[in-house]
Amino acid sequence: MKQGIPYGRQYIDEEDIKSIIEVLKGDYLTTGPYVKKFEENFAHYVGVKYAVAVANGTAALHLACLAAGIGAGDEVITSPITFAASANCALYVGAKPVFADIDSQTYNIDPSQIKTKISAKTKAIIPVHYTGLPCDMKAINEIAKEKNLMVIEDACHALGARYKNTKIGDCTYSDMTVFSFHPVKHITTGEGGMITTNSKELYQKLLLLRSHGITRDEDQLKENHGGWYYEMQTLGYNYRLTDIQSALGISQLKKVDWFIQRRREIAEMYNRGLKDLPLELPFEPEGCINSYHLYVIRLKKEAKVNRKELYDYLKSKGIYSQVHYIPVHTLPYYREKLGYNWGDYPKAEEHYRNVLTLPIYPGMTDEDVKFVISKLKEVLK
């Protein structure tokens, strides 16, 4: 009997498994040579100077906010159509998350909306490359430069995506870029994350913050009592990635171009198969390459069924679609503690009401894709 089709899942092969066993037989389990190698390979892949591996994407966002100097009384602008972590990171450092509504064609944060949300307290913009489609980074970068704001890209969906002649993660239009290696993302380390930057100063801050604010680097020590000596110079965390996870990351990264190619093939099959149905399909603006972490459809008004009916129907056929996302400002914590409410961001809320994420992952077969298309036709035609 056929198992259900999830909206996303990891792809692990024998090479991945072997690479982990290798580490288990060696001298280091946590910070060792594989962390460094994973960071180097990752930096090389996205085309950036520095990469810092951390425990998960949320920790990456938290440390990026700290390194950016965001703190109490500051405001940070992000999209309401994202995972809560993109906004929670501002709360972790005592700042206030402020949202700017989305563009109804790309579903990404709208630069003209960002402009209306900037105040004297605004310190940073966190654009989220939703589904793997790059935001309008040129426009966002221009706004940031004019207002002297930091830009932290949340690229948890966008490993391998391209914007004009740049690769997401190379920080051409930002100070830092953040990635996640949760199993549904492009590559996985179980849990894991990465921060990339071209700034040596930010890089050194991130290294310090990742491990308790402690350094043993002789060049940075204020005193030196001998070989055992270390200094805690700032309040940091234990947000380290292990060597075991890094070995898996190195092995996964070797396959990333194939992963993305396969995701784009599946997206192309959906684009062709669904084009006559009452659906809005993903839009890829000129100069952008979507790396399709998610394939998102929107039901048009004339559709015979609503979103919930469509979700339930697919589920009854073993197709586990998802909804990305419940707008962050409408989550009870955000309404009760921060004073946001339904109605604050109409385009994001309109998106939430009509959107559905179809299954897409490298191990998905053509038959699986055709099956999903046929079920959608059954109920929508």
Ligand X SMILES: *Cc1c(COP(=O)(O)O)cnc(C)c1O
* Token pair in block for residue 372: 């999903």
* Token pair in block for residue 324: 């990305």
Angle at 187 between CA 55 and CA 33, to 5 degrees: 55
Binding residue (CB under 6 A) for ligand X from 123, 157, 264, 375? 157
* Stretch 56-75: interaction string toward ligand X, x if CB under 6 A: xxx-----------------
Binding residue (CB under 6 A) for ligand X from 74, 101, 154, 175? 154
Total residue length of the chain: 381
Question: Alpha-carbon distance 249 to 260, whole Å?
Answer: 16
Q: Write down the least CB distance from residue 128 to ligand X, Å.
A: 5
Q: Write down the least CB distance from residue 71 to ligand X, Å.
A: 21
Evaluate whether 243 touches 35 at the Cβ level (below 8 Å).
yes
**Binding flag, residue 78, ligand X (CB under 6 A):** no
**Binding flag, residue 167, ligand X (CB under 6 A):** no
**Binding flag, residue 107, ligand X (CB under 6 A):** no
Catalytic residue, chosen from 185, 255, 304, 381, is 185
**Binding flag, residue 329, ligand X (CB under 6 A):** no
Question: Alpha-carbon distance 229 to 224, whole Å?
Answer: 6
DSSP 328: G
DSSP 187: S
By CB under 6 A, the count of residues binding ligand X is 14
Q: Write down the least CB distance from residue 34 to ligand X, Å.
A: 19
Q: Write down the least CB distance from residue 82 to ligand X, Å.
A: 5
Evaluate whether 372 touches 319 at the Cβ level (below 8 Å).
yes
Q: Write down the least CB distance from residue 213 to ligand X, Å.
A: 21
**Binding flag, residue 182, ligand X (CB under 6 A):** yes
Look at the block and give the residue holding tokens 């109605």: 343
Nearer to ligand X, 43 or 85 (CB): 85
| Residues contacting residue 286 through CB under 8 Å, at least 6 positions apart | none
Is residue 167 among the annotated active site residues?
A: no
What kind and span of H or E run contains 96? strand 96-99
- Note the residues at the interface with ligand X (CB under 6 A): 56-58, 82-83, 85-86, 128, 154, 156-157, 180, 182, 193
**Which residues are known catalytic residues?**
185
